[in-house]
Amino acid sequence: MRKSIAVVACMALLGTACTQGISYSSIQPTADGKWGREELMEFTVQDPDTAAPQSLYLLLRNDNSYPFSNLFVIVEMTYPDGTSLRDTLEYEMADPQGNWLGAGGGSTIENKLGYKKDVVFPTKGVYTFTVSQAMRKNGSVEGLEALPGILDVGLQIEKNK
């Protein structure tokens, strides 16, 4: 009995240590494992820390049906005063041999993709982040109607160490 209590206590401490620096984390599922061209993932951050620098990450879960080795996304951060900053980002999802770069085994891969480092939020208030996929096939101007194999999209904010 004492061993099981000690094991549970150690697991609780480890879980707390792993999430101690995270000030915000949210993940949203895509529709039927496909990320639609018009499907905006929106994340609302209320009153983030305005004193300490933080790092922002996109969290992505994909499966083996994802047909590309890279991913283009558009991220827009809207400040409390209504101004916004838009970034188009490209991430490598697989190496040249086709091996996924994220973590996980089996058919689901988890990716923690760097978005911004050393961000100091200038004011308290509500910050809104929207993330959309911007994938196109070679030679095509139109984006893909639905991007298969993307299961979840998230945003995580961590205090710098």
> Which pTM does this prediction carry?
0.84
Residue 154 near residue 27 (C-beta atoms within 8 A): yes
pLDDT of residue 16: 39
Q: What is the pLDDT of residues 35-63, one digit of tens each?
A: 999 999 999 999 999 999 999 999 999 99
Nearest alpha-carbon partner for 74 in 32, 135, 28, 127? 135
Q: What is the dihedral of CA 20, 43, 74, 120, to 10 degrees?
A: -50
3-state secondary structure of 2: helix
Cα separation, 62 vs 1, whole angstroms: 40
Both tokens of residue 17?
A: 């240590």
pLDDT of residue 161: 83
* Domains defined for the chain, CATH in brackets: 22-159 (2.60.120)
Task: Please report which confidence band the pLDDT of residue 2 belongs to, taking 50, 70 and 90 as the band edges.
Answer: very low
Q: What is the pLDDT of residues 77-130, one digit of tens each?
A: 999 999 999 999 999 999 999 999 999 878 899 999 999 999 999 999 999 999
Question: Considering the chain, what is the average pLDDT of its residues?
Answer: 88
